[in-house]
Amino acid sequence: MSSSHTVTVSMDVEAGQKNKDKKGISQDLILAYKTLGVVFGGLVTSPLYVYPSMNLTNPTEEDYLGIYSIMFWTLTLIGVVKYICIALNADDHGEGGTFAMYSLLCQHANIGILPSKKIYTEEENLISNQPVVAGRPGRLRRFIESSIIARRLLLLTAILGMCMLIGDGILTPAISVLSAIDGLRGPFPSVSKPAVEGLSAAILVGLFLLQKYGTSKVSFMFSPIMAAWTFATPVIGVYSIWRYYPGIFKAMSPHYIILHDEPDQRLAATRRHRAEAMFADLGHFSKRSIQIAFMSSIYPSLVLTYAGQTAYLINNVDDFSDGFYKFVPRPVYWPMFIIATLAAIVASQSLISATFSVIKQSVVLDYFPRVKVVHTSKDKEGEVYSPETNYMLMLLCVGVILGFGDGKDIGNAFGVVVILVMLITTILLTLVMLIIWGTHVVLVALYLVPFLLLEATYVSAVCTKILRGGWVPFAVSVALAAVMFGWYYGRQRKTEYEAANKVTLERLGELLSGPGVRRVPGLCFFYSNRQDGGWLTPVLAHYIRNMRSLHEVTVFLTLRYLLVAKVDGKDRVQAVRRLGPAGVYGCTIQYGYADAIDFEEDDIAGQVVGALRERVVDGEEEGERVEAARAAGVVHVRGKMRFHVGKDTRLFDRVLLGFYELLHGACRSALPALGIPLQQRVEIGMLYKA
């Protein structure tokens, strides 16, 4: 009987595991289908504009074979080997991109800059699943930890990678839609360029207005379009290969790359493979779903489509300026035009989604001014939407269309900085291998050397494109980097001031015992950005001196945004403690950068009061006092400290802190961003000399 029972239980466990695996596979397949409409749009529609944007002069068969060889090996090495096989494994709890890799490095080494971003050790027991560096650190890690210059360079590298991805992303919608709509001018030569530009701009405005509905809804609507494109173009490619040049696949031999020694065309052929976007979009989907979609559809589709285009051009060497539509057979021209136009609209989605992800990461980690971030999915925390970011991207994309006015001109600028992003990813991924994964140095060298040489070659060709439109994404990238650095510098100076003018717990007791200071009914959450409980910010003394009161129950609340993607619910409220004076407590609320923060849903007052009664409150009388204070009313108090930049302030601080104050005045307040009702919010201003 016992044996039979054991067998039954074992079978039940196995059946449950199989059902779980089946559910996981089906979920991955559904997500893989959705990735077609979001992640791979910019990559899979690249045949629309690759050949038209090349500056070819009297091209020959050998030239086209060399170009196709470059396309094939770049797509294979960078797309498959680097990103699908390696980079997607360097995620931070499901989040991808350069900033996520920087976050991952900060968790395993003491290389963060801002004190508020400190990673706590396991002994502090603040989060049970926080990674802890074990063993003797390697030379590289010790060097970076001991050098403030190296740490700042690492932060700057991550910031530049993020900014360049966004800077280049504004060109993706413009060139994709323009290239597709330009197909009207083939059968209808009377259609003017301004008409094409106006129609393209109107289509993009409509696309950006759809973003508020969330990536899942948008991708579900867009995925059938991209599926039609992904499977239709390789069919035409196979037909073109059969008709024009059946021996095209001999170009897979790398020696054709050596024969084709035109760096400008190499850049044009390679910069379209936007594999970085699928890494940055990782938070919207999953690693396995992206891998399935890429290897089963995107990769073979591009290999066959480019082969078909090249086969056609070998027999029609001067048609490269319209290399997509002329390679489409006449009987299916209009169906392909409709699919191409819809696919070009969808292609814009990958960089838009990636931009939302990286902006949200930097806002939560306090490296970027606060903008509104909306979580559009309850099941997928990485799926976010930012209205300000969305409309700024829309204005920039429409401005690019109206400013350049021609797909070929945009082609000169398109893809320039993304080559640098790929190089930055290679560097950060090397650090992840050495510091986190502990990969043998020989294996690291086998990865680093080939990709460094390959991408450095492409970077060398970037210089020729800067004056021909490449300055646009660079300018946007530099502007974004300046905003991030100005914000970072201001926050660093603010932290230094708070440390120098801290209010200790002893000083708090003296302030509360001062003449005329009363304890008023109610529960007050007083926000502090200090990550330790030994002292509080100077705005507290400013508040007590001016208000001459403090609530009967006051909780000094620290919001800790950990350098992890998500924090388990049981670890949300931590470090609950009594601070000395009666009715004064402290606690920490922990969130990762992929966690949704909505105090109305979370009922933060209930969570904190429950934690106080469970861990701190001693006796029924104290518990009743806490509950009575909550019943009397809850108020959330936040200090707002500003710099006074005077004439005697040194020039460097005058410029940077003045810029920080400009950003600080324009950005959203922290309390509305946390979902706190208006009637419960109080902000206390404090001015101090820079």
Q: Which domains does the chain have, with CATH numbers?
A: 47-487 (1.20.1740), 503-689 (no CATH)
The yes-or-no verdict on residue 523 having pLDDT over 70 is yes
pLDDT for position 131: 39
Question: Edge-to-edge strands of the sheet including 681-689?
Answer: 573-578, 584-592, 549-562, 518-528, 634-644, 681-689
Q: Which residue has the higher pLDDT, 140 or 220?
A: 140
pLDDT for position 412: 64
Q: Which residue has the higher pLDDT, 453 or 407?
A: 453
Residues 366, 362: Cα–Cα separation, whole Å: 6
Mean per-residue pLDDT for 589-607?
Answer: 67
- Model confidence pLDDT, tens digit, residues 23-76: 567 878 888 877 776 677 777 888 887 887 777 778 888 889 988 998 898 889
pLDDT for position 275: 61
pLDDT for position 567: 78
Average pLDDT, the chain: 79
Q: With pLDDT > 90 as the criterion, what percentage of the chain qualifies?
A: 13
pLDDT for position 430: 93
Give the CA count within 13 Å in the CB-facing half-sphere of 426: 23
The yes-or-no verdict on residue 383 having pLDDT over 80 is no
Which has the closest alpha carbon to 476: 357, 396, 362? 396
pLDDT for position 414: 64
**Positions of E strands within 427-548:** 503-504, 518-528, 535-536
Quickly count: other Cβ atoms within 10 Å of residue 575's Cβ. Answer: 20
Contact 653, 690 (CB under 8 A): yes
DSSP 3-state assignment of 463?
Answer: helix
Mean per-residue pLDDT for 199-204?
Answer: 89
pLDDT for position 346: 75
Q: Which residue has the higher pLDDT, 256 or 431?
A: 431
- Model confidence pLDDT, tens digit, residues 535-555: 788 888 888 988 899 999 999
How would residue 563 be classed by pLDDT, with cut points 50, 70 and 90?
Answer: low
Q: Which residue has the higher pLDDT, 173 or 269?
A: 173
Q: Which of 16-20, 365-369, 467-471, 636-640 has the lowest mean pLDDT?
A: 16-20
Mean per-residue pLDDT for 112-138?
Answer: 44
Q: State CA 464 to chain mean position distance.
A: 29
CA angle centred on 501, ends 499 and 502, rounded to 5°: 65
DSSP 3-state assignment of 382?
Answer: coil
Looking at this protein, which amino acid is placed at residue 236? I
pLDDT for position 17: 47
Give the CA count within 13 Å in the CB-facing half-sphere of 655: 5
pLDDT for position 261: 55
How would residue 133 be classed by pLDDT, with cut points 50, 70 and 90?
Answer: very low
pLDDT for position 593: 59
Quickly count: other Cβ atoms within 10 Å of residue 210's Cβ. Answer: 16
Q: State CA 130 to chain mean position distance.
A: 22
Q: Which of 168-172, 286-290, 369-373 has the lowest mean pLDDT?
A: 168-172
pLDDT for position 136: 53
Which has the closest alpha carbon to 361: 94, 36, 669? 94
pLDDT for position 9: 40
- Model confidence pLDDT, tens digit, residues 318-342: 888 776 888 899 899 999 988 988 8
CA-based radius of gyration for the chain: 28
Q: Which of 41-50, 95-104, 190-199, 562-571 has the lowest mean pLDDT?
A: 562-571
Contact 110, 121 (CB under 8 A): no
Residues 212, 213, 216, 218: is their CA dihedral positive or negative? negative
pLDDT for position 357: 76
Mean per-residue pLDDT for 447-472?
Answer: 79
Instruction: DSSP for 43-86, please give it.
Output: HHTGGGTTTTTS--SS--HHHHHHHHHHHHHHIIIIIIIIIIII
Q: Which of 67-71, 199-203, 496-500 has the lowest mean pLDDT?
A: 496-500
DSSP 3-state assignment of 365?
Answer: coil
pLDDT for position 172: 75
Which has the closest alpha carbon to 111: 149, 144, 157, 139? 144
The yes-or-no verdict on residue 237 having pLDDT over 90 is yes
DSSP 3-state assignment of 117?
Answer: helix
pLDDT for position 484: 87
Listed in sequence order, the residues at least 6 apart from 203 whose beta carbon sits closer than 8 Å to its beta carbon are 177, 181, 345
How would residue 350 be classed by pLDDT, with cut points 50, 70 and 90?
Answer: low
- Model confidence pLDDT, tens digit, residues 627-677: 899 999 999 888 888 888 878 888 888 888 889 888 888 887 766 656 677
pTM beyond 0.85: the answer is no
Q: Which of 21-25, 281-285, 570-574 has the lowest mean pLDDT?
A: 21-25
Which has the closest alpha carbon to 48: 200, 223, 216? 200
Mean per-residue pLDDT for 598-614?
Answer: 73
Give 555's DSSP letter. Answer: E
Contact 257, 66 (CB under 8 A): yes
Q: Which residue has the higher pLDDT, 676 or 533?
A: 676
pLDDT for position 494: 84
